[in-house]
């Protein structure tokens, strides 16, 4: 590798480390020794779905993914004169509902990401996933607020809105693909809620367990 490529690579890595540092080292949701840190740790476990015995993030993310994709399809249909004003409205409400669920999807995703050890490839993947989803959320929020005044009478969604929906959907799909890679290529959050159970069973059976 030449010097310039090595410099660019280390520059990029420094940028990612800074973002990771910002989230992690502020001790946001991370838990630790003090009372506040203990409460933050409890909050992280709550967001990870310990109380529900099921991870919350993968449950929630299907809603914005489905609702925003549907909104894009509805927008396309109205462009071709199908559906009229009821479909224009349905698209608007689908975007709004998707935004509401995203308010829960983001903190639950952050709580899961905090458990990925520094240096693991899935950690950087998580940062790209976060950045793309945050951008998608801003695009869909802009799309939603721009539509506010023109709900009652319009039967066709003006073209710029449809382009915004297309952009939001593409960002969402790429981000979702990276989220899927975290789960299926790196096993992030897989078996998290059953790990302790199997560890206990192995312990009771006298197995020689690796350290946590």
The contact set with ligand HEM (CB under 6 A) reads 55, 57-58, 61, 64-65, 102, 105-106, 109-110, 112-113, 126, 129-130, 133, 137, 176, 179-180, 182-183, 188-189
Please, what is the minimum distance in Å from the beta carbon of residue 99 to ligand HEM? 9
Please, what is the minimum distance in Å from the beta carbon of residue 86 to ligand HEM? 26
Closer Cβ to ligand HEM, 114 or 156, answer by number: 114
Report residue 22 as tokens.
Answer: 């910002």
Closer Cβ to ligand HEM, 78 or 137, answer by number: 137
Give alpha helix (H) positions in 114-188. Answer: 121-147, 159-184
Closer Cβ to ligand HEM, 89 or 192, answer by number: 192
Quote the CA–CA distance of 125 and 90 in Å, as a whole number. 34
Please, what is the minimum distance in Å from the beta carbon of residue 132 to ligand HEM? 9
b/e for 172-193, b at 16 or more Cβ within 10 A?
Answer: beebbebbebbbeebebbeebe
Please, what is the minimum distance in Å from the beta carbon of residue 106 to ligand HEM? 4
End-to-end CA distance of the chain: 37
Report residue 209 as tokens.
Answer: 């367990």
Closer Cβ to ligand HEM, 88 or 106, answer by number: 106
Instruction: Name the residue among 196, 203, 186 with its Cα closest to residue 48.
Output: 196
């Amino acid at each position: 590798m030449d010097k310039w490529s090595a410099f660019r690579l280390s520059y990029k890595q420094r940028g990612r480390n800074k973002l990771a540092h910002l989230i992690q080292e502020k001790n946001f949701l991370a838990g630790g020794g003090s009372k506040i840190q203990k409460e933050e740790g409890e909050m992280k476990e709550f967001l990870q779905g310990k109380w529900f015995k099921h991870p919350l993030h993968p449950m929630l993310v299907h809603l914005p993914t489905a609702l925003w994709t549907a909104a894009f399809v509805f927008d396309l249909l109205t462009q071709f004169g199908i559906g009229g004003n009821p479909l224009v409205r349905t698209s608007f409400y689908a975007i709004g509902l998707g935004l509401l669920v995203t308010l829960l999807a983001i903190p639950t995703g952050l709580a899961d990401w905090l458990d990925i050890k520094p240096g693991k490839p899935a950690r950087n993947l998580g940062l790209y996933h976060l950045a793309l989803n945050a951008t998608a959320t801003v695009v869909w929020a802009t799309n939603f607020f721009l539509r506010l005044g023109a709900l009652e009478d319009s039967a066709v969604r003006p073209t710029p809105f449809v382009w915004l929906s297309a952009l939001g959907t593409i960002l969402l799909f790429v981000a979702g693909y990276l989220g899927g890679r975290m789960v299926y290529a790196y096993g992030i959050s897989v078996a998290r809620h059953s790990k302790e159970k199997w560890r206990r069973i192995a312990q009771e059976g006298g197995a020689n367990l690796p350290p946590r």
